[in-house]
Each structure stands twice: as C-alpha cells, then as structure tokens.
Structure 1
Amino acid sequence: TQCSSAAEVATAVRNCIGSYIRKDGPGVALLLYSLALTRGIAMIARDADFETPLVGINGYCSQELVNLLLIGRAHSNVFNGERNVGGGEDDATEGGEGGGVRLKGAPRRANVGFLTLFERQGAEGTLLTVGSNFKRPHTPIFVVQSESHYSVLWAQGGTPPDVLLDSDERLPGDPEPSAAGEDEDEVEPPAQLADGESFSLMYFDQMAERDDAVRLTIHRSTGGGPSATGGHVAPLEAVILTRWPAAEIDWNGEEIIL
C-alpha cells in the first residue's frame, strides 16, 4: 500500500492491524518490510557507514535498524550528527568536517530516545557515548538496550529534571558549549532535581514475566551516585545513570529486574 499522508498511513495500519498483532503472526516481519520500503532499499544502504544486515547474528536487531525505527534513517551510530575519523587530530567532530571516514549518527532530536548499557563500558567522548539527540528526545520515552534485548523506559508528566553530579556539569553526549546555538533543534536542558525532591520513571520489560510496568522513584544521591563511587549496580540502573548520573534509584519494594 502506498500512502501520501500521515492520515493515509494511519488508515492503512488500522485496516490491517490484525495481521500485525496476531499471536505468532508475521507482525515483526511486516513492520520491517514497511520500514525498508518506506525509506527505500537504496537509501538504507547509503545511510549505513558500511554494508551491514539490519538483523544480525542470532536474530539481534542492528543499530542501523534501531535508528531506522527511531529517526527514519539507518545510520550506524548514536552520537549527534556526523564525525570523521582517521583523517587527523581534529577530525572526530560533530560537524562532519575533515578527512578520513565519515560516520553518521542522529542528525536531529528523536521523538523517542535511546539509552544503552554499553555506554557504561566506554569513556565519555567515544563512539559509544549516546548523544543528546537521543538522550533528550521530544517525548520522555526511551528504548533501552541491555545486554541481550530491548525494553522501554518512560517518564510520566512531561520531561523530568536533570540529575547531574554538579550544576555546571554537562550530561555526557550534550554538545560542547562552543557549539551552542548552531543547531536549530537544540534544546535547553531542564532544571536540576533539587535535594529532597523526586520523580517517577516507568519501566516495562517484556521478558520479565510480568504484564505491568514497574514504577521507579528517582532521588538525588547524597553520595554522588554509583557512577561516582564505582559501586555495582543492576543493568537497568546502569542505563539510567547514563541519563541521570547522580540518581539514586528506588524500586519501591519491587524485585530488581536484572
């Protein structure tokens, strides 16, 4: 089905929604086909840094496919904009200038964000640092990548405050101050979470053997947070700390999901 407007897309999806949601049906494959045909096979090949399958070993979703879902481009990285590597000392910039190999990330703020456990395994400024275009999406909903699968985290009641170790600190992935104002889609960071205040995050993991979401309460850690002390944290907590580094996470009596 070819559609020329959002209304036509909504109508087409409603007309065949049964095929997408039928138990043991081809819904995932149909969604993948729709994504590929909407973007175009040739454009998907151009989007990626290197030739790569959208579905990898053991049926795992590639980052290119995640980005195609979230930003409509099958780009290979999660930083902001583009970077050039291998062309000199100053080539790894978000502006995309310089020699070497051009790597493509998120060109603009996503509607739905993305957070990954693998950021905790890399240093700030590396290719594994998720950029603000994914960490500060238009809506406070995040696809969460853990070690073996994806789940979803969201905030109710609008964009929650930042929880940084210091009021002058930048969230890893935010643009450098010198680049402020160059991006027309740039967002002003929210206020800091005050001592004694809190907000809630909801988390749903389809592999956690429960049908409802878990409510997490986020406080400011009085000890600087596990990210500052190097303490061991559960995988989901490690992911949350990439977005709210000084957070203390209360599971409200629920069993911690590993």
Structure 2
Amino acid sequence: MGDPGAGRAAPTPLEEIASRISDLSKWREIFSFRGLEINSTTHQQGRSSAGQAPPGAGECPGPQPPSTVPQPLLLPQGTGGRPISPDTAMKLQELLFRNTAPVFSCEWAAAHFRFHQPHSDLAYALQAGKGGTRAILAAVQAHIITYLLFTRETECTDLQRLCRVGRWEQGQALATALAETLWAAGGGGRAVVCLVTAPITTMPREGYRANSFTERVRLFEFSEKAAAQGFISDHINCFKGEGSHGVILFLYSLLFSRTLERVQEDLGDTAPLLNISSGNITCTEAVLSLLLTGRASPRQLGGRREPEPGAGGRAGEAPRQRGPVGFLRWERAPPERQVSGDSPGPAGPSAPPGLLASVPRPGEPRAATPRLPVWLCSLSGRHGVLFGTDRRLLCDWRSERIFHLYFYSGQQEQTQTAHLTIDTHSHHWEEAQREGPCSPGKRRPALEMAIRTKWAGATVSWNGTDPFF
C-alpha cells in the first residue's frame, strides 16, 4: 500500500505564505481585542479601520500575554446574527445613560463572569471585583445558586455540594443562569444573545458617540430557551473570558431580550438605567428588577403590592408569579424607608413565628417571598446573596422556626461562605418595647436588619464569624 500522502501535491511557496498570513491575521484580531499590542504598521492600520478597543479599555493596562493559546473571544465573520443599526445604537445609549455622551468606565469594560477556583470553598461563587457591576454579578450569582442547589439533578442539596463544583459545572451553571434570566426578560417567548465580531458591523449616525464596541455587537435571537442556553454554552468564553467584556454583553442581551421599547415602558419616566456619580457607574433598581423579575419596573421590588396576574398585563407576556430569586433591601435611612420585605411590626402573639414568611401577606411585595430560598440583598448600596439549602423553607412554616442561611458578599476578603442561624422564636414585640431609638439593637449589621424585614424580630447568629456586612 502506497504512501497516503503521495497523491497530494506539496503546497507552492505562494500558497504556504498566504496560509501563514491568514493565521497571523486571525491571532492579531484576538490579541487586539484582548488589549495586547503587536508592533506592526499593518496591524495599526487594521485597528484604525476596525475601531479601537472596547469602551474604557484604553484607560487600563492590558492583561499579560497568556501562557497558553487563548480561546477566541470574537465571532468569525459569517456566523449569522444581525448587527445593531445606528438608530438602535443611539436608543441603547440613551436608555442606559439618558444621553449619548457617557461611555462605560474601565471597571465596566474589564468586568466579566469569573469563578473562584473549582473544588474549593467558594467553587460556586463569582468573583465580584469592584465597581457598579457588582449588582449584576450578584444577581447572576443568585441564579447560579438556584440552579446548582435546586434545578439540576443532584443527590444532595447542601453547602458541601456547592464546594465540589468543577470547572465544567461552573460553565454550565453560568450558561443556565444567563439563559434563564434572558428568557424571563423576553416574557417567556424569546431571548436575544449579544456577541462581538472583529469588524465594525454598523456605522454611527451623527450625534452618536461611537465606542467601537457596540458597533461590533451582533444579535442572535432564539424562540426556544434550550436553543438559547445551548448557544450561550457553546460561546461561554465570550462572557467569562478575561477581556471579553462579558458583563456589558450580558446587559445588552438583557435589554434586547426585553426590547428597548418595553424597557422604556417599564421605566415610565426619564430616569436612565445607570447612574453616574463622581465617575462611578452604578445600576438603578430598575436593572435589578429586570434581572430578577424580567421587567425593568422598580415597583416590583418595592413595598407596594403589584396588580394580580391578568390585571392590566401586556399581551403575549406570562402572568406575574413568584420568581425563583427574591429581593431584600436595607438602607441606613429613617425607619419608614428601611423596609422592603415584611412589615417589621409583630403579627401578634397568636401567629406562629414561621407563618410570617410562608406566603405573601397583604401589602408584601412578591420579591420578598420567592419560590426558592435565595435572595439578592441590597444593603446600603452593597450587594450580596443570602440563601438556604432547604427547599421547604418557604412552603412549610414549621421549617421557619429555627433554620440556617448562608451569605456570600463577593468581597475579596471573604474566603468562606458565612453560616447564619435564624431563630424566629424570639419575642420581638417585647424587645421592641425595651429598645430605644438609639439602643445598640438599632445599629446591628445591615444583613441582620434585612433578614428581620423578612422574619420580624428574628435573632441571627453568625456562628463564630465576625459580622462583616
């Protein structure tokens, strides 16, 4: 039998040179997007035509060259999707900032979904970093915990199971969390995923400040949740890879899944989705509502009760139900402004303490009592995730007498999940009579006060850990 390669002609010198140039161009695009410089006149000319780095990238030092071949963060040409039109790009910026002048800061441009080391105490947890993106990361973290504990098929639902998560499971959990959030924003009928291509796909119109990032975004729309989740899983590095700008891409995907028009209707005023103060860009409560309920309506996270399902709802959208993730808020403000969960007053001596949270009471926002024991917490502007591992906690009042919750803040200083024991047997109405407005009980950690907006008068034990939030 002859040599199998004998029938193939050797490439000519010209073909070999063309092949090498093609490979070099591919890696130049990847390195350019990751902020790595290549000293080449041709490369500099290519950057002038394809646009500069994503917003804010020029303000930060680029990452060090990888020791291994990086996974592609950009889509090759001809992969489908549709570009963002100039008019849509302007509407997007106006919705985010209320004008076209601001662009995302360095912290936003660098933010992506990065897990702690697999098979560690925080294997399930995202590294939140600093800046205004922490609210988005914390909300996605809540959905990740929901999936790892209660959605996927697993033999046990305890904290140790979260610590045994491997790298593949991390990627699957992130893909599921992103897909679930986008599907909810699309009203249960659509999801839009935003990814980036190397060349500019649209030209900015007059009056629009180009940032060379939005112009490279392509929209991929799905009418089935499984297809959207599979697509995100196949391109998960576009959200979790360093230099991917994954948080911004996810925020864009969220808005386009909802549609810009419906987001504007949800807001109902001229307030932007992002606040800018002293150079810091932070999320408004409308963004948190979109992440948790699928609608950019802060009322759904506030103290006012929403209309019942079917009452004035938009056609084509699923009725409003209790979501899988809840929301608790505590602000260092006058008492009448501090409550976002249950009323802090006692239900009366005859009411079983655990019954306070079994079902939403009149006037209680739905977000305070989710289907599963997982809450996004907003504590004086800082965000973390409070969760339990017992699925029965919110459906059986007997489980709410003495129970355990866990808290992850995302702060770099936290190396282990905080373990809290909640006792709802405390006589909170007697304690309220003993304590004055300036007593130490009024200056407890914000997390404890947020818990007490849900379980009135409960005592919280940190089990040996110094309260830190």
Query: Is the pair's TM-score, using the shorter chain for normalization, greater than 0.5?
Result: yes
Identity of aligned residues (%): 24
1:254 equivalent in alignment to 2:460:
no
Aligned with 2:254 (options 35, 42, 49): 35
Report 1:75-94 matches (<5 A): 75-77=297-299, 78=301, 79-82=304-307
- For residues 53 and 223 of structure 1, the distance between their equivalents in structure 2, rounded to whole angstroms, comes to 43
Is the contact made by 1:153 and 1:202 (CA closer than 8 Å) also made in structure 2? yes
* Structure 2 counterpart of 1:220: 424
* Structure 2 counterpart of 1:69: 291
- Give the number of the structure whose residues are more often helix, by fraction: 2
* Structure 2 counterpart of 1:167: none
> How far is the alpha carbon of 1:108 from its aligned partner?
3.2
Deviations 1:128-179 (A, max 9, x none): 6443411111111100001132110011111426xxxxxxxxxxxxxxxxxx
> How far is the alpha carbon of 1:244 from its aligned partner?
0.9
Bigger Rg, which one: 2
Is the contact made by 1:54 and 1:62 (CA closer than 8 Å) also made in structure 2? yes
Number of aligned pairs?
207
Q: 2:331 is paired with a residue of what secondary structure?
A: helix
* Structure 2 counterpart of 1:53: 272
- For residues 140 and 52 of structure 1, the distance between their equivalents in structure 2, rounded to whole angstroms, comes to 32
- For residues 7 and 241 of structure 1, the distance between their equivalents in structure 2, rounded to whole angstroms, comes to 38
AA aligned to 2:397 is A
* Structure 1 counterpart of 2:397: 191
AA aligned to 2:407 is Y
- For residues 49 and 129 of structure 1, the distance between their equivalents in structure 2, rounded to whole angstroms, comes to 21
- Give the number of the structure whose residues are more often strand, by fraction: 1
RCO (CA 8 Å, sep 6+): is it higher in 1 or 2? 2
- For residues 127 and 210 of structure 1, the distance between their equivalents in structure 2, rounded to whole angstroms, comes to 26
Aligned with 1:238 (options 449, 455, 460): 449
Aligned with 1:152 (options 369, 372, 385): 385
Give unmatched runs, 5+ long, in structure 1: 83-94, 97-105, 162-188
Q: 2:274 is paired with a residue of what secondary structure?
A: coil
1:16 equivalent in alignment to 2:222:
no
Cα gap change, 1:206 to 1:129, in 2 (>3 Å): closer
AA aligned to 2:265 is R
> How far is the alpha carbon of 1:14 from its aligned partner?
0.3
Q: 2:228 is paired with a residue of what secondary structure?
A: helix
- For residues 243 and 405 of structure 2, the distance between their equivalents in structure 1, rounded to whole angstroms, comes to 31
Q: 1:142 is paired with a residue of what secondary structure?
A: strand
- For residues 247 and 23 of structure 1, the distance between their equivalents in structure 2, rounded to whole angstroms, comes to 42
Is the contact made by 1:120 and 1:239 (CA closer than 8 Å) also made in structure 2? no
- For residues 274 and 431 of structure 2, the distance between their equivalents in structure 1, rounded to whole angstroms, comes to 32
Q: 1:160 is paired with a residue of what secondary structure?
A: helix
Moved more, 34-43 or 148-157: 148-157
* Structure 1 counterpart of 2:210: none
> How far is the alpha carbon of 1:54 from its aligned partner?
1.3
- For residues 9 and 119 of structure 1, the distance between their equivalents in structure 2, rounded to whole angstroms, comes to 40
* Structure 1 counterpart of 2:372: 139
TM-score of the pair, normalised by structure 2: 0.40
